[in-house]
Chains A and B, each alone.
Chain A
Protein backbone atom coordinates (compact mmCIF):
# COMPACT_ATOMS: atom_id res chain seq x y z
CA UNK A 1 0.00 0.00 0.00
CA UNK A 2 2.81 2.42 0.84
CA UNK A 3 4.18 1.67 -2.62
CA UNK A 4 1.14 3.34 -4.17
CA UNK A 5 1.72 6.50 -2.14
CA UNK A 6 5.44 6.58 -2.83
CA UNK A 7 4.64 6.17 -6.50
CA UNK A 8 2.16 9.09 -6.33
CA UNK A 9 4.80 11.28 -4.71
CA UNK A 10 7.31 10.36 -7.41
CA UNK A 11 4.74 11.18 -10.10
CA UNK A 12 4.02 14.45 -8.30
CA UNK A 13 7.68 15.42 -8.26
CA UNK A 14 7.90 14.77 -11.99
CA UNK A 15 4.72 16.80 -12.60
CA UNK A 16 6.33 19.55 -10.53
CA UNK A 17 9.05 19.77 -13.17
CA UNK A 18 6.48 20.84 -15.75
CA UNK A 19 4.93 23.29 -13.30
CA UNK A 20 8.34 24.78 -12.57
CA UNK A 21 8.83 25.26 -16.30
CA UNK A 22 5.55 27.19 -16.49
CA UNK A 23 6.73 29.30 -13.59
CA UNK A 24 10.26 30.10 -14.74
CA UNK A 25 9.17 32.64 -17.32
CA UNK A 26 6.74 34.25 -14.90
CA UNK A 27 9.48 34.37 -12.27
CA UNK A 28 11.82 36.07 -14.73
CA UNK A 29 9.30 38.68 -15.85
CA UNK A 30 8.16 39.32 -12.27
CA UNK A 31 11.74 39.57 -11.02
CA UNK A 32 13.10 41.72 -13.82
CA UNK A 33 10.22 43.79 -15.16
CA UNK A 34 8.38 43.81 -11.83
CA UNK A 35 5.00 42.92 -13.20
CA UNK A 36 2.84 39.83 -13.29
CA UNK A 37 1.86 38.90 -16.80
CA UNK A 38 -1.73 37.73 -16.48
CA UNK A 39 -1.57 36.38 -20.04
CA UNK A 40 1.40 34.12 -19.17
CA UNK A 41 -0.69 30.94 -19.15
CA UNK A 42 -2.51 31.92 -22.32
CA UNK A 43 0.79 32.51 -24.10
CA UNK A 44 1.83 28.97 -23.13
CA UNK A 45 -1.42 27.59 -24.55
CA UNK A 46 -1.02 29.74 -27.66
CA UNK A 47 2.35 28.09 -28.32
CA UNK A 48 0.79 24.66 -27.64
CA UNK A 49 -1.62 25.32 -30.48
CA UNK A 50 1.24 26.53 -32.65
CA UNK A 51 3.03 23.23 -32.04
CA UNK A 52 -0.23 21.39 -32.75
CA UNK A 53 -0.59 23.14 -36.10
CA UNK A 54 3.02 22.48 -37.07
CA UNK A 55 2.76 18.79 -36.21
CA UNK A 56 -0.62 18.12 -37.76
CA UNK A 57 -0.54 20.28 -40.87
CA UNK A 58 3.15 19.98 -41.74
CA UNK A 59 3.61 16.54 -40.23
CA UNK A 60 6.65 17.62 -38.22
CA UNK A 61 7.71 15.78 -35.10
CA UNK A 62 6.93 17.68 -31.88
CA UNK A 63 10.62 18.17 -31.22
CA UNK A 64 11.21 19.87 -34.57
CA UNK A 65 8.02 21.87 -34.19
CA UNK A 66 9.10 23.11 -30.77
CA UNK A 67 12.53 23.99 -32.14
CA UNK A 68 10.89 26.07 -34.88
CA UNK A 69 8.76 27.93 -32.37
CA UNK A 70 11.77 28.94 -30.23
CA UNK A 71 13.06 31.84 -32.34
CA UNK A 72 9.50 32.84 -33.23
CA UNK A 73 8.50 33.09 -29.59
CA UNK A 74 11.74 34.84 -28.63
CA UNK A 75 10.96 37.51 -31.23
CA UNK A 76 7.33 37.57 -30.13
CA UNK A 77 8.32 38.15 -26.51
CA UNK A 78 10.73 40.88 -27.55
CA UNK A 79 8.13 42.70 -29.62
CA UNK A 80 5.35 42.26 -27.05
CA UNK A 81 7.52 43.96 -24.44
CA UNK A 82 8.93 46.63 -26.72
CA UNK A 83 5.73 47.62 -28.48
CA UNK A 84 3.05 47.09 -25.86
CA UNK A 85 4.10 46.32 -22.29
CA UNK A 86 6.96 48.83 -22.12
CA UNK A 87 4.47 51.59 -22.88
CA UNK A 88 2.31 50.84 -19.86
CA UNK A 89 5.03 50.07 -17.32
CA UNK A 90 5.46 52.91 -14.89
CA UNK A 91 4.58 54.15 -11.46
CA UNK A 92 0.99 53.04 -11.71
CA UNK A 93 0.25 49.34 -11.42
CA UNK A 94 -3.21 49.38 -12.95
CA UNK A 95 -2.36 49.78 -16.68
CA UNK A 96 -0.01 46.82 -17.01
CA UNK A 97 -2.37 44.53 -15.07
CA UNK A 98 -5.26 45.54 -17.30
CA UNK A 99 -3.31 45.26 -20.54
CA UNK A 100 -2.06 41.75 -19.77
CA UNK A 101 -5.55 40.85 -18.58
CA UNK A 102 -7.05 42.11 -21.86
CA UNK A 103 -4.40 40.17 -23.76
CA UNK A 104 -5.35 37.02 -21.87
CA UNK A 105 -9.00 37.34 -22.89
CA UNK A 106 -8.07 38.14 -26.49
CA UNK A 107 -5.79 35.09 -26.80
CA UNK A 108 -8.33 32.72 -25.26
CA UNK A 109 -11.10 33.82 -27.57
CA UNK A 110 -8.93 34.07 -30.66
CA UNK A 111 -7.85 30.45 -30.06
CA UNK A 112 -11.45 29.44 -29.54
CA UNK A 113 -12.44 31.19 -32.75
CA UNK A 114 -9.63 29.54 -34.69
CA UNK A 115 -9.50 26.04 -33.25
CA UNK A 116 -12.87 25.62 -31.57
CA UNK A 117 -13.39 24.69 -27.94
CA UNK A 118 -12.31 21.04 -28.24
CA UNK A 119 -9.66 19.52 -26.01
CA UNK A 120 -6.48 18.80 -27.92
CA UNK A 121 -3.22 16.96 -27.51
CA UNK A 122 -0.11 16.59 -29.62
CA UNK A 123 0.90 13.01 -30.46
CA UNK A 124 4.39 12.41 -29.14
CA UNK A 125 4.94 8.90 -30.44
CA UNK A 126 6.59 6.06 -28.53
CA UNK A 127 8.18 8.25 -25.87
CA UNK A 128 4.72 8.94 -24.49
CA UNK A 129 4.16 5.35 -23.45
CA UNK A 130 7.69 4.28 -22.50
CA UNK A 131 8.13 3.69 -18.79
CA UNK A 132 10.97 2.63 -16.57
CA UNK A 133 10.23 0.24 -13.76
CA UNK A 134 12.07 1.52 -10.71
CA UNK A 135 11.04 -0.72 -7.83
CA UNK A 136 7.90 -2.30 -6.45
CA UNK A 137 4.92 -0.24 -7.57
CA UNK A 138 7.00 2.68 -8.73
CA UNK A 139 7.04 3.24 -12.47
CA UNK A 140 8.48 6.31 -14.06
CA UNK A 141 7.40 7.52 -17.49
CA UNK A 142 10.24 8.43 -19.81
CA UNK A 143 8.52 11.61 -20.98
CA UNK A 144 7.92 12.98 -17.47
CA UNK A 145 11.50 12.12 -16.58
CA UNK A 146 12.82 13.96 -19.64
CA UNK A 147 10.64 16.96 -18.72
CA UNK A 148 11.85 16.94 -15.14
CA UNK A 149 15.51 16.81 -16.12
CA UNK A 150 14.88 19.55 -18.69
CA UNK A 151 13.31 21.72 -16.00
CA UNK A 152 16.40 21.39 -13.82
CA UNK A 153 18.58 22.15 -16.82
CA UNK A 154 16.49 25.23 -17.62
CA UNK A 155 16.80 26.57 -14.08
CA UNK A 156 20.54 26.02 -14.21
CA UNK A 157 20.92 27.68 -17.60
CA UNK A 158 18.75 30.62 -16.66
CA UNK A 159 20.72 31.05 -13.45
CA UNK A 160 23.98 31.03 -15.46
CA UNK A 161 22.49 33.46 -17.94
CA UNK A 162 21.52 35.92 -15.24
CA UNK A 163 24.57 35.65 -13.01
CA UNK A 164 27.42 34.72 -15.31
CA UNK A 165 26.89 36.62 -18.55
CA UNK A 166 27.11 40.24 -19.61
CA UNK A 167 23.52 40.36 -20.79
CA UNK A 168 22.57 38.85 -17.41
CA UNK A 169 24.37 41.65 -15.58
CA UNK A 170 22.56 44.19 -17.73
CA UNK A 171 19.23 42.55 -17.03
CA UNK A 172 19.90 42.62 -13.30
CA UNK A 173 21.00 46.26 -13.56
CA UNK A 174 17.76 47.46 -15.16
CA UNK A 175 15.85 45.30 -12.71
CA UNK A 176 17.67 46.86 -9.73
CA UNK A 177 17.23 50.49 -10.73
CA UNK A 178 15.92 51.37 -14.15
CA UNK A 179 16.31 55.11 -13.63
CA UNK A 180 19.99 54.71 -12.77
CA UNK A 181 20.44 52.39 -15.73
CA UNK A 182 18.99 55.06 -18.01
CA UNK A 183 21.27 57.70 -16.49
CA UNK A 184 24.43 55.79 -17.31
CA UNK A 185 23.28 55.03 -20.83
CA UNK A 186 21.95 51.48 -20.68
CA UNK A 187 19.23 50.97 -23.31
CA UNK A 188 16.67 49.74 -20.80
CA UNK A 189 13.71 49.19 -23.19
CA UNK A 190 15.93 46.94 -25.32
CA UNK A 191 17.21 45.05 -22.27
CA UNK A 192 13.69 44.54 -20.88
CA UNK A 193 12.58 43.31 -24.28
CA UNK A 194 15.49 40.84 -24.46
CA UNK A 195 14.48 39.55 -21.02
CA UNK A 196 10.95 39.08 -22.30
CA UNK A 197 12.44 37.22 -25.27
CA UNK A 198 14.05 34.80 -22.82
CA UNK A 199 10.70 34.50 -21.05
CA UNK A 200 9.32 33.58 -24.47
CA UNK A 201 11.91 30.81 -24.81
CA UNK A 202 10.85 29.28 -21.48
CA UNK A 203 7.25 29.55 -22.64
CA UNK A 204 8.05 27.75 -25.89
CA UNK A 205 9.93 24.91 -24.18
CA UNK A 206 7.28 24.39 -21.52
CA UNK A 207 4.53 24.56 -24.16
CA UNK A 208 6.34 21.99 -26.30
CA UNK A 209 6.43 19.53 -23.42
CA UNK A 210 2.97 20.36 -22.16
CA UNK A 211 1.37 19.84 -25.58
CA UNK A 212 2.64 16.25 -25.65
CA UNK A 213 2.06 15.39 -22.01
CA UNK A 214 -1.32 16.90 -21.17
CA UNK A 215 -4.59 17.83 -22.83
CA UNK A 216 -5.25 21.46 -23.51
CA UNK A 217 -8.00 23.67 -24.84
CA UNK A 218 -8.25 27.42 -25.53
CA UNK A 219 -9.27 28.15 -21.94
CA UNK A 220 -6.43 26.18 -20.31
CA UNK A 221 -4.31 29.30 -19.88
CA UNK A 222 -5.59 30.66 -16.57
CA UNK A 223 -5.04 27.39 -14.71
CA UNK A 224 -1.43 27.36 -16.01
CA UNK A 225 -1.04 30.96 -14.87
CA UNK A 226 -2.32 30.15 -11.39
CA UNK A 227 0.04 27.17 -11.06
CA UNK A 228 2.98 29.25 -12.28
CA UNK A 229 2.05 32.08 -9.93
CA UNK A 230 1.80 29.72 -6.97
CA UNK A 231 5.18 28.16 -7.74
CA UNK A 232 6.81 31.60 -7.99
CA UNK A 233 5.28 32.83 -4.72
CA UNK A 234 6.02 29.57 -2.89
CA UNK A 235 9.62 29.57 -4.03
CA UNK A 236 10.21 33.16 -3.01
CA UNK A 237 10.27 36.07 -5.42
CA UNK A 238 13.33 36.18 -7.61
CA UNK A 239 14.66 32.77 -6.66
CA UNK A 240 14.82 30.44 -9.67
CA UNK A 241 15.76 27.36 -7.65
CA UNK A 242 12.99 28.26 -5.22
CA UNK A 243 10.58 28.31 -8.15
CA UNK A 244 11.61 24.75 -9.01
CA UNK A 245 10.93 23.63 -5.43
CA UNK A 246 7.62 25.54 -5.49
CA UNK A 247 6.59 23.68 -8.64
CA UNK A 248 7.52 20.33 -7.09
CA UNK A 249 5.52 21.08 -3.93
CA UNK A 250 2.45 21.83 -6.05
CA UNK A 251 2.96 18.73 -8.17
CA UNK A 252 3.23 16.50 -5.11
CA UNK A 253 0.23 18.18 -3.45
CA UNK A 254 -1.88 17.55 -6.54
CA UNK A 255 -0.71 13.96 -7.00
CA UNK A 256 -1.32 13.07 -3.36
CA UNK A 257 -4.66 14.90 -3.32
CA UNK A 258 -5.65 13.08 -6.49
CA UNK A 259 -4.81 9.76 -4.88
CA UNK A 260 -7.41 10.42 -2.16
CA UNK A 261 -10.03 11.42 -4.69
CA UNK A 262 -9.42 12.37 -8.31
CA UNK A 263 -11.76 15.34 -7.96
CA UNK A 264 -9.53 16.83 -5.25
CA UNK A 265 -6.39 17.00 -7.36
CA UNK A 266 -6.46 20.67 -8.40
CA UNK A 267 -8.08 21.87 -5.19
CA UNK A 268 -5.40 20.13 -3.10
CA UNK A 269 -2.71 22.12 -4.92
CA UNK A 270 -4.45 25.43 -4.23
CA UNK A 271 -5.09 24.59 -0.59
CA UNK A 272 -1.48 23.59 0.05
CA UNK A 273 -0.39 26.80 -1.62
CA UNK A 274 -2.70 28.94 0.53
CA UNK A 275 -1.59 27.23 3.73
CA UNK A 276 2.12 27.62 3.03
CA UNK A 277 1.55 31.18 1.85
CA UNK A 278 -0.34 32.02 5.05
CA UNK A 279 2.56 30.70 7.11
CA UNK A 280 5.41 32.01 4.97
CA UNK A 281 4.26 34.90 2.79
CA UNK A 282 7.81 35.69 1.73
CA UNK A 283 8.15 32.23 0.20
CA UNK A 284 10.54 29.45 1.02
CA UNK A 285 13.72 30.91 -0.48
CA UNK A 286 13.28 34.66 -0.80
CA UNK A 287 16.14 36.37 -2.58
CA UNK A 288 15.16 39.92 -1.67
Chain B
Protein backbone atom coordinates (compact mmCIF):
# COMPACT_ATOMS: atom_id res chain seq x y z
CA UNK B 1 0.00 0.00 0.00
CA UNK B 2 1.64 3.26 -1.05
CA UNK B 3 1.63 6.37 1.10
CA UNK B 4 -0.24 8.38 -1.50
CA UNK B 5 -2.73 6.01 -3.03
CA UNK B 6 -4.49 6.85 -6.29
CA UNK B 7 -7.87 6.37 -4.64
CA UNK B 8 -8.37 6.81 -0.94
CA UNK B 9 -11.79 6.22 0.56
CA UNK B 10 -12.12 7.25 4.15
CA UNK B 11 -15.02 6.43 6.46
CA UNK B 12 -17.57 6.31 3.63
CA UNK B 13 -21.27 5.80 4.39
CA UNK B 14 -23.93 5.79 1.67
CA UNK B 15 -27.61 6.44 2.18
CA UNK B 16 -30.66 5.80 0.01
CA UNK B 17 -33.31 7.74 1.85
CA UNK B 18 -33.32 6.27 5.32
CA UNK B 19 -31.65 3.07 4.18
CA UNK B 20 -27.91 2.90 4.79
CA UNK B 21 -26.16 0.80 2.16
CA UNK B 22 -22.58 1.42 3.27
CA UNK B 23 -21.19 2.06 6.75
CA UNK B 24 -17.81 3.62 7.50
CA UNK B 25 -15.89 1.96 4.69
CA UNK B 26 -12.22 2.78 4.12
CA UNK B 27 -10.45 1.48 1.04
CA UNK B 28 -7.27 2.35 -0.85
CA UNK B 29 -6.21 1.62 -4.40
CA UNK B 30 -2.57 2.27 -5.27
CA UNK B 31 -1.10 3.08 -8.67
CA UNK B 32 -0.72 -0.02 -10.83
CA UNK B 33 -2.74 -2.19 -8.46
CA UNK B 34 -5.59 -4.56 -9.05
CA UNK B 35 -7.75 -4.40 -5.94
CA UNK B 36 -10.65 -6.75 -5.58
CA UNK B 37 -13.75 -6.29 -3.49
CA UNK B 38 -15.62 -9.46 -2.76
CA UNK B 39 -18.89 -9.93 -1.00
CA UNK B 40 -22.27 -11.54 -1.37
CA UNK B 41 -25.27 -9.93 -3.03
CA UNK B 42 -26.36 -6.86 -1.08
CA UNK B 43 -23.06 -6.40 0.72
CA UNK B 44 -22.85 -2.85 -0.62
CA UNK B 45 -20.26 -3.39 -3.32
CA UNK B 46 -22.15 -1.67 -6.13
CA UNK B 47 -23.07 1.22 -3.85
CA UNK B 48 -19.36 1.73 -3.28
CA UNK B 49 -18.66 2.04 -7.01
CA UNK B 50 -21.66 4.29 -7.54
CA UNK B 51 -20.47 6.51 -4.72
CA UNK B 52 -17.03 6.82 -6.35
CA UNK B 53 -18.55 8.02 -9.65
CA UNK B 54 -20.99 10.31 -7.83
CA UNK B 55 -24.21 8.43 -8.52
CA UNK B 56 -25.67 8.01 -5.04
CA UNK B 57 -27.97 10.56 -3.42
CA UNK B 58 -26.16 11.03 -0.12
CA UNK B 59 -22.73 10.15 1.22
CA UNK B 60 -20.76 10.80 4.39
CA UNK B 61 -16.99 10.50 4.60
CA UNK B 62 -14.44 11.26 1.94
CA UNK B 63 -13.39 9.88 -1.44
CA UNK B 64 -10.06 11.22 -2.69
CA UNK B 65 -8.67 10.59 -6.13
CA UNK B 66 -5.11 11.81 -6.71
CA UNK B 67 -5.54 13.80 -3.54
CA UNK B 68 -8.67 15.65 -4.70
CA UNK B 69 -12.05 15.01 -3.16
CA UNK B 70 -14.66 13.53 -5.48
CA UNK B 71 -17.55 14.03 -3.08
CA UNK B 72 -20.26 16.31 -4.41
CA UNK B 73 -18.85 16.45 -7.93
CA UNK B 74 -20.81 15.40 -11.00
CA UNK B 75 -20.08 12.15 -12.80
CA UNK B 76 -18.96 13.84 -16.05
CA UNK B 77 -16.36 15.73 -14.04
CA UNK B 78 -15.17 12.61 -12.22
CA UNK B 79 -14.85 10.67 -15.47
CA UNK B 80 -12.83 13.49 -16.99
CA UNK B 81 -10.56 13.25 -13.96
CA UNK B 82 -9.68 9.68 -14.98
CA UNK B 83 -12.18 7.30 -13.36
CA UNK B 84 -14.19 5.02 -15.66
CA UNK B 85 -16.75 2.38 -14.86
CA UNK B 86 -17.68 -0.89 -16.51
CA UNK B 87 -21.20 -1.09 -15.06
CA UNK B 88 -22.92 -4.17 -13.78
CA UNK B 89 -24.88 -5.88 -16.53
CA UNK B 90 -22.76 -4.04 -19.16
CA UNK B 91 -25.44 -1.41 -19.78
CA UNK B 92 -24.68 -0.81 -23.44
CA UNK B 93 -27.00 1.44 -25.38
CA UNK B 94 -28.96 -0.94 -27.60
CA UNK B 95 -29.82 1.51 -30.35
CA UNK B 96 -26.21 2.57 -30.79
CA UNK B 97 -23.67 0.63 -32.85
CA UNK B 98 -20.60 -0.90 -31.26
CA UNK B 99 -18.53 1.97 -32.55
CA UNK B 100 -20.95 4.61 -31.25
CA UNK B 101 -21.04 2.97 -27.85
CA UNK B 102 -17.28 3.03 -27.64
CA UNK B 103 -16.99 6.55 -28.94
CA UNK B 104 -19.16 7.76 -26.05
CA UNK B 105 -16.36 6.58 -23.77
CA UNK B 106 -13.85 8.68 -25.65
CA UNK B 107 -16.11 11.73 -25.58
CA UNK B 108 -16.80 11.55 -21.87
CA UNK B 109 -13.22 10.78 -20.86
CA UNK B 110 -9.81 12.43 -20.87
CA UNK B 111 -9.37 12.06 -24.62
CA UNK B 112 -5.87 10.72 -24.77
CA UNK B 113 -3.86 7.63 -24.07
CA UNK B 114 -5.63 4.57 -25.36
CA UNK B 115 -6.64 4.60 -28.98
CA UNK B 116 -9.27 2.65 -30.80
CA UNK B 117 -6.56 0.41 -32.23
CA UNK B 118 -5.31 -0.38 -28.73
CA UNK B 119 -8.78 -1.53 -27.79
CA UNK B 120 -9.08 -3.64 -30.92
CA UNK B 121 -5.75 -5.14 -29.84
CA UNK B 122 -7.42 -6.31 -26.65
CA UNK B 123 -10.64 -7.39 -28.33
CA UNK B 124 -10.05 -8.16 -32.04
CA UNK B 125 -13.59 -9.42 -32.56
CA UNK B 126 -15.04 -5.93 -32.04
CA UNK B 127 -13.34 -4.57 -35.14
CA UNK B 128 -15.37 -6.66 -37.55
CA UNK B 129 -18.58 -5.95 -35.63
CA UNK B 130 -18.11 -2.24 -35.13
CA UNK B 131 -21.09 -1.15 -37.24
CA UNK B 132 -23.58 -3.57 -35.73
CA UNK B 133 -26.12 -2.46 -33.15
CA UNK B 134 -24.82 -3.33 -29.71
CA UNK B 135 -27.80 -5.50 -28.84
CA UNK B 136 -26.99 -7.95 -31.66
CA UNK B 137 -23.77 -9.02 -29.95
CA UNK B 138 -23.32 -11.98 -27.64
CA UNK B 139 -23.04 -11.33 -23.90
CA UNK B 140 -19.27 -11.74 -23.94
CA UNK B 141 -18.85 -9.39 -26.87
CA UNK B 142 -21.10 -6.85 -25.19
CA UNK B 143 -18.88 -7.03 -22.12
CA UNK B 144 -15.90 -6.35 -24.37
CA UNK B 145 -17.66 -3.28 -25.77
CA UNK B 146 -18.34 -2.11 -22.22
CA UNK B 147 -14.65 -2.54 -21.43
CA UNK B 148 -13.70 -0.75 -24.62
CA UNK B 149 -16.08 2.11 -23.81
CA UNK B 150 -14.53 2.54 -20.37
CA UNK B 151 -10.95 2.22 -21.61
CA UNK B 152 -11.43 4.80 -24.36
CA UNK B 153 -12.11 7.29 -21.58
CA UNK B 154 -8.39 6.77 -20.85
CA UNK B 155 -8.90 6.16 -17.14
CA UNK B 156 -6.22 6.04 -14.48
CA UNK B 157 -8.64 3.97 -12.43
CA UNK B 158 -10.97 1.41 -13.97
CA UNK B 159 -13.95 0.28 -11.90
CA UNK B 160 -15.34 -3.12 -12.90
CA UNK B 161 -18.71 -4.18 -11.53
CA UNK B 162 -19.43 -7.92 -11.69
CA UNK B 163 -17.91 -8.48 -15.11
CA UNK B 164 -18.44 -12.24 -14.94
CA UNK B 165 -22.18 -12.00 -14.37
CA UNK B 166 -24.16 -14.18 -16.76
CA UNK B 167 -21.20 -15.11 -18.97
CA UNK B 168 -19.82 -18.52 -19.93
CA UNK B 169 -16.67 -19.62 -18.02
CA UNK B 170 -14.55 -19.59 -21.18
CA UNK B 171 -15.45 -15.97 -21.83
CA UNK B 172 -14.83 -15.00 -18.20
CA UNK B 173 -11.37 -16.56 -18.38
CA UNK B 174 -10.64 -14.53 -21.48
CA UNK B 175 -11.75 -11.28 -19.83
CA UNK B 176 -9.78 -11.95 -16.67
CA UNK B 177 -6.67 -12.68 -18.71
CA UNK B 178 -6.84 -9.15 -20.08
CA UNK B 179 -6.99 -7.41 -16.68
CA UNK B 180 -3.21 -7.70 -15.97
CA UNK B 181 -2.52 -6.39 -19.49
CA UNK B 182 -4.68 -3.39 -18.78
CA UNK B 183 -2.90 -2.85 -15.48
CA UNK B 184 0.44 -3.04 -17.26
CA UNK B 185 -0.69 -0.09 -19.41
CA UNK B 186 -0.73 1.95 -16.20
CA UNK B 187 -4.41 1.62 -15.33
CA UNK B 188 -5.29 0.70 -11.75
CA UNK B 189 -8.30 -1.56 -11.38
CA UNK B 190 -10.93 -1.82 -8.68
CA UNK B 191 -12.74 -5.06 -9.28
CA UNK B 192 -16.03 -6.09 -7.74
CA UNK B 193 -16.96 -9.73 -7.79
CA UNK B 194 -19.08 -12.39 -6.21
CA UNK B 195 -16.80 -15.08 -7.65
CA UNK B 196 -14.14 -15.36 -4.93
CA UNK B 197 -11.78 -17.73 -6.74
CA UNK B 198 -11.29 -15.79 -9.94
CA UNK B 199 -11.23 -12.47 -8.22
CA UNK B 200 -8.54 -13.39 -5.70
CA UNK B 201 -6.43 -15.07 -8.38
CA UNK B 202 -5.96 -11.83 -10.28
CA UNK B 203 -5.91 -9.31 -7.39
CA UNK B 204 -2.91 -7.77 -5.69
CA UNK B 205 -5.01 -6.99 -2.63
CA UNK B 206 -8.60 -7.57 -1.65
CA UNK B 207 -11.33 -6.36 0.69
CA UNK B 208 -14.25 -8.48 1.79
CA UNK B 209 -17.57 -6.77 2.50
CA UNK B 210 -20.58 -7.88 4.47
CA UNK B 211 -23.75 -5.89 5.16
CA UNK B 212 -22.21 -2.58 4.13
CA UNK B 213 -18.97 -2.95 6.07
CA UNK B 214 -15.46 -4.15 5.29
CA UNK B 215 -14.74 -7.10 7.56
CA UNK B 216 -11.53 -8.49 6.11
CA UNK B 217 -8.72 -7.23 3.91
CA UNK B 218 -5.21 -8.21 2.87
CA UNK B 219 -3.23 -9.92 0.14
CA UNK B 220 -4.80 -13.04 -1.33
CA UNK B 221 -1.84 -15.30 -0.52
CA UNK B 222 -1.55 -14.08 3.07
CA UNK B 223 -5.10 -14.85 4.17
CA UNK B 224 -6.43 -18.35 4.59
CA UNK B 225 -9.25 -19.49 2.38
CA UNK B 226 -11.34 -20.37 5.44
CA UNK B 227 -11.11 -16.84 6.80
CA UNK B 228 -12.21 -15.45 3.45
CA UNK B 229 -15.19 -17.79 3.28
CA UNK B 230 -16.15 -16.96 6.83
CA UNK B 231 -16.03 -13.22 6.18
CA UNK B 232 -17.88 -13.60 2.91
CA UNK B 233 -20.86 -15.41 4.39
CA UNK B 234 -20.69 -13.77 7.80
CA UNK B 235 -20.18 -16.91 9.82
CA UNK B 236 -20.15 -16.06 13.52
CA UNK B 237 -17.07 -16.95 15.50
Contact = CB atoms under 8 A, between A and B. Distances in A.
A187 interface: yes
Given A177-B91, A180-B87, A182-B55, A187 B74 contact: yes
B131 to A, nearest CB: 12
Contacts of A170: 104, 107
Interface in B96-110: 96, 100-101, 103-105, 107-109
A184 B84 contact: yes
B203 interface: no
B76 A166 contact: no
A186 interface: yes
A185 B78 contact: yes
A183 interface: yes
Contacts of B53: 183, 185
Given A176-B95, A183-B85, A169 B104 contact: yes
A86 B76 CA distance: 18
A172 B95 contact: yes
B96 A185 contact: no
Contacts of B95: 172, 175-176
Given A172-B96, A180-B93, A186 B104 contact: yes
Contacts of A140: none
B132 interface: no
B218 interface: no
18 contacts: A169-B96, A169-B103, A169-B104, A172-B96, A173-B93, A173-B104, A175-B95, A176-B93, A176-B95, A177-B91, A180-B91, A182-B75, A183-B87, A184-B84, A185-B84, A186-B76, A186-B104, A186-B108
A185 B153 contact: yes
B80 interface: yes
Nearest to B150: A184
Interface string A150-180: 0000000000000000100110110111011
A185 B75 contact: yes
B116 to A, nearest CB: 15
A177 B104 CA distance: 13
A237 B11 CA distance: 48
B78 A173 contact: no
Interface of B: 50, 53, 55, 74-76, 78-80, 84-85, 87, 91-96, 100-101, 103-105, 107-109, 149-150, 153
A186 B107 CA distance: 9
B94 A176 contact: yes
A178 to B, nearest CB: 10
Given A176-B93, A185-B108, 5 more contacts: A176-B94, A177-B93, A183-B53, A184-B87, A184-B91
Nearest to A174: B93
Contacts of A181: 93
Interface residues of A, number: 17
Interface in A2-58: none
Contacts of A175: 95
A81 B229 CA distance: 50
A172 B133 CA distance: 12
Contacts of B76: 185-187
Nearest to A167: B107
Contacts of A166: 103, 107
Contacts of B96: 169, 172-173, 176
Nearest to A168: B100
A248 B95 CA distance: 27
5 A-B pairs with the lowest CB-CB distances in the bound complex, closest first: A185-B79, A180-B91, A185-B108, A176-B93, A173-B93
A180 B53 CA distance: 12
A183 B150 CA distance: 11
A185 B93 contact: no
Nearest to A181: B93
Contacts of A184: 75, 79, 84-85, 87, 91, 104-105, 108, 149-150, 153
Nearest to A190: B76
Contacts of B93: 172-173, 176-177, 180-181
A169 B100 contact: yes
Given A166-B107, A170-B104, A183 B55 contact: yes
Interface in A163-221: 166, 169-170, 172-173, 175-177, 179-187
Nearest to A288: B95
B148 to A, nearest CB: 12
Nearest to B50: A183
A175 B149 CA distance: 18
Interface in A112-128: none
A182 B91 CA distance: 11
B130 to A, nearest CB: 13
Contacts of B103: 166, 169
